[in-house]
Amino acid sequence: MSYPLVILLCVGLLHQTARAVIMDKLADNKICGDAECSHVLSMATALDDFIAPDCRFINIKKGQMVYVYSKLVPEEGAGVFWSGSVYSERYVDQMGIIGYFPATVLKETHKFTQDTVKIPTTGMDFYCD
């Protein structure tokens, strides 16, 4: 194998991993239904549209159903954000994508669990690809 080909291969591999970014934390702690945040806390309905300002967030359309997986514990002066995934027959392309959104654009319609755990957030909670 020649050196230019090896260098080109290495640069290509580095370029692939350079796209991922760990963004600033939105909070230091979050509330979840279990230690892995894999259980849905609640179901909510979007009261208004929300356009994601960056890759940590998801777009939500008014009337859309949303599964809430965690609720960030806000720092003083910070907004209240939840994480979840949209559910709708009209927006199938967004289903399964988990991201943040302001709690103020949703109305909880059904709580699945009353038992919650407070755990610290990590850089991976705010990972963008």
Nearest 10 degrees: CA dihedral of 76, 78, 80, 82? -110
Beta-bridge partners for 17: none
Q: What average pLDDT does this structure show over 5-23?
A: 52
Residue 118, C-beta contacts closer than 8 angstroms, at least 6 positions apart: 29, 30, 31, 73
What's the pTM? 0.75
Q: Is residue 77 part of a domain?
A: yes
Structural domain boundaries enclosing 81: 24-126
Q: Is residue 89 part of a domain?
A: yes
Query: What's the CA gap between 98 and 73, in Å, rounded?
Result: 18
Q: Is residue 10 part of a domain?
A: no
Q: For residue 107, what is the domain's CATH number?
A: 2.30.30.40
Q: Is residue 28 part of a domain?
A: yes
More confident residue, 108 or 17: 108
Query: Shortest CA distance to 31 belongs to which of 84, 78, 76, 77?
Result: 84
Give the pLDDT of residue 18. Answer: 47
Q: Is residue 71 part of a domain?
A: yes
The rounded percent of the chain whose pLDDT value lies above 70 is: 74
Q: Is residue 5 part of a domain?
A: no
Query: Shortest CA distance to 41 belongs to which of 104, 102, 83?
Result: 83
What total number of domains does the chain contain?
Answer: 1
Q: What average pLDDT does this structure show over 23-33?
A: 88
Query: Shortest CA distance to 105 belongs to which of 73, 71, 75, 60?
Result: 60
Instruction: Express each pLDDT in 40-75 by its tens digit.
Output: 999 999 999 999 999 899 999 999 999 999 999 988
